[in-house]
Homo-oligomer: A and B are copies of this chain.
Amino acid sequence: MEFSKLNEKHLRKLRSMVSEDRFSTGESNLDLHSQDQSRHPPSKPEAVMWPVDRREVSEILSYANEHRIPVTGWGSGTSLEGNPIPVSRGVVLDFTLMNQILSIRESDFQADVEPGVLYRDLNDKLRHSGLFFPPDPGAGATIGGMIANNASGTRTVRYGSTRANVIRLTVVIAGGEILELGSRSSKTASGYDLINCFIGSEGTLGLVVEATVRLRGLPEAFSAVIATFPSVEKAGEAVFEIIRSGLDPAALELLAQECIALINEEKNFALEVSPTLFMEFHGATTGQLEETMEMVREICQAQGCTDFRPGVGRKERDQLWAARHELGEMIVRKHPDRSHTVIDVAVPISAYPEIIALAREESRRIGIPGYTFSHAGDGNLHLVFMGKKGDPEEWVRIEKANERMVKKALEMGGTATGEHGVGLGKRKFMPMEHGASLEWMKKIKALFDPNGILNPGKIF
């Protein structure tokens, strides 16, 4: 695609579409919108705009489409695959100011929100209603960003990814047209399901200006468990058995020993430095959970579990999850002279023990600092390698390991990216994963965005 570089006329016109203080070409604002939390190189936009309503978004997109100006949506920049880096420059639309919770309909288990609402803020607001919005990507994700990336997290094993928790969207497409997708009815068989094309499309098909999300009831009772294993492989077998037994965990995370050591160091925990499962189960009563705990204990012990600690209290549990959520940042802080690649494959759960064993093998043989942790209950594995900046040879080795892992995951019926999206880093795996369907994804892109102005350079 041929894009226009913004000239004085473009800038003047764009500036006129929003109030003066919501348009910037200042270096610090361009810098702040040039990179996410990945290792992908920054690229500065030519201008940043902060729209406050759908009318502005529509007007900007209509103009940008006519003048072939790239437009990239921006939530909070916490993505991990370069998803919102404006590699073709142009305009970044920062949705920070569209951060209103428009309506909470407790009796329908629904809320209407603007895209800039923080995941955390919605749940804070819901605290006293007994409801929550479950996808749990951690950090300061916005709901718009979560929808763009079909984000998921520790709660996905029970409550699904963002896709399963969004039922209605208002989007603006490249020409500026505003579309309503989905329904507030909990079920419908009316027409084509377009909403799911947009969820997970990383801002390449349209920009979300409003969403209706599903809420769930907070569980009456929970039980958090820490279980320690002699090897990652044994812990992986336990994960498979727990899922296979239908025990329906609300979180089932695996952390290899190097991750536990790091958490101990940073958070002053005194966890045994061994492969560990952090688990949580939800129920209507504490009594209900006791039977579940007994079954989980049996499964873990059959895999040689060396320490099984159920009944972790609320405070310690909250600290554990906070530590789990910060793990990525801890790893980055630990290696200031290195940057990271996150392998993010996911496989059907029966293949989980094999893929986790493979991850350990790669970790051992590559001779580069590696960290294995996993949304294990979903079969979603992260293996973070910290490559030395400016050492191309290390990066070749890391990329080869990534390719081997993805190839293996796809052979097992899995996916190249369980939750971080394609962005820049996973594009090369798309032909291998999707085959002929990839061409049809490109046709969908061309249909909604014929000039390719929306977040160019991503996914494909």
* Interface residues of A, Cβ cutoff 8 Å to B: 105-110, 130, 149-152, 156, 161, 163-164, 177-181, 183-197, 199-201, 205, 217, 240, 244, 246, 283-285, 287-288, 291-292, 346-350, 375, 378-380, 409, 413-422, 426, 429-430, 433-438, 440-441, 443-445, 447-448, 459
Chain B residues in 8 Å Cβ range of A151:
189
By the criterion CB–CB under 8 Å, are B447 and A443 in contact?
yes
- Residues of chain B lying within 8 A (CB to CB) of residue A444: 192, 194, 444, 447
| A-B CB contact pairs (8 Å), 18 listed | A107-B240, A108-B350, A130-B246, A184-B348, A185-B347, A185-B414, A186-B346, A189-B421, A189-B422, A190-B416, A190-B417, A190-B422, A194-B440, A194-B441, A194-B444, A284-B291, A440-B448, A444-B444
Inter-chain pairs besides A191-B200, A191-B433, A193-B200, 15 sampled, C-beta below 8 Å: A107-B349, A110-B348, A164-B164, A179-B440, A183-B413, A184-B348, A184-B413, A185-B413, A187-B346, A187-B378, A190-B433, A191-B459, A192-B197, A193-B196, A440-B448
**What distance in Å separates the Cβ of A262 from its nearest Cβ neighbour in chain B?**
25
Residues of the B chain whose Cβ atoms lie less than 8 Å from the Cβ of A433: 190-191
In the bound assembly, the distance between CA atoms of A191 and B198 in angstroms comes to 10
Tell me the complex Cα distance, A435–B349, Å.
41
**Contact at B379–A438, with CB atoms within 8 Å?**
no
A419 CB, nearest partner CB in chain B, Å: 5
The reply to whether B194 and A346 contact each other, CB–CB distance below 8 Å, is no
Q: Which of B183, B201, B283, B288 contacts A414 (CB 8 A)?
A: B183
Do A346 and B285 contact each other (CB < 8 Å), given the known contacts A194-B440, A196-B196, A197-B193? Answer: no
Nearest-CB residue, chain B, relative to A245? B217
Q: How far is the CA of A262 from the CA of B419 in the complex (A)?
A: 51
> Considering residues A110, A181, A287, A414, which has the most beta carbons from chain B within 10 angstroms of its beta carbon?
A414
* Given known contacts A107-B244, A196-B196, A346-B186, A191 and B430 CB-to-CB distance under 8 angstroms: yes
A429 CA to B190 CA, complexed, in Å: 9
Q: How many copies does the complex hold?
A: 2
Residues of B within 8 A of A445 (CB): 192
Given A284-B292, A444-B194, residue A417 in contact with residue B188 (CB < 8 A):
yes
* Chain B residues, Cβ within 8 Å of A163: 193
A105 and B348 in contact (CB under 8 A), knowing A199-B193, A246-B217, A379-B185? yes
Specify which chain B residues have a CB less than 8 angstroms from the CB of A110 in the assembled complex. 348
- Residue of B at shortest CB range from A378? B187
Residues of B within 8 A of A164 (CB): 164
Q: What is the bound-complex CA distance between A409 and B188, given in angstroms?
A: 12
Contact A192/B436 with A107-B240, A183-B415 known, Cβ cut-off 8 Å: no
Chain B residues in 8 Å Cβ range of A109: 349
CA distance A108 to B351 in the complex (A): 9
Complex formed: what's the CA distance from A415 to B181 in Å?
12
Residues of chain B contacted by A199 (CB below 8 angstroms): 193
Q: Is the CB of B436 within 8 A of A177?
A: yes
Taking a contact as CB atoms under 8 Å apart, the answer to whether A190 and B244 are in contact is no
- A130 (CB) vs chain B CBs: closest residue: B246
Shortest A188–chain B CB gap in Å is: 4
Whole-angstrom distance between the alpha carbons of A423 and B193 in the complex? 15
**Interface pair B349/A189, CB less than 8 Å apart:** no
CB distance from A163 to the nearest CB of B (A): 7
* Contact (Cβ within 8 A) B185 A437: no
CA distance A459 to B189 in the complex (A): 11
Question: What 8 A-B pairs have minimum CB-CB distances, sorted nearest first?
Answer: A184-B413, A217-B246, A196-B196, A188-B415, A193-B196, A107-B350, A185-B346, A108-B348
Contact assessment for B183 and A161 in the assembled complex, using a CB-CB cutoff below 8 Å: no
Expressed in whole angstroms, the Cα–Cα distance for A284 and B291 within the complex equals 9
Residues on B with C-beta less than 8 A from A409 are: 185
Bound Cα distance A284, B284 (Å): 11
Max chain B C-beta neighbours (<10 A), residue from A107, A181, A200: A107
Could you tell me if B422 and A191 are in contact, using CB atoms closer than 8 angstroms? yes
Nearest CB in chain B to that of A427: its residue: B191
Q: Are A415 and B288 in contact (CB under 8 A)?
A: no
Query: Closest residue of chain B to A216, judged by CB?
Result: B246
User: Cβ of A379: which chain B residues have Cβ within 8 Å of it?
Assistant: 185-187
State whether B288 touches A156 (Cβ < 8 A): no
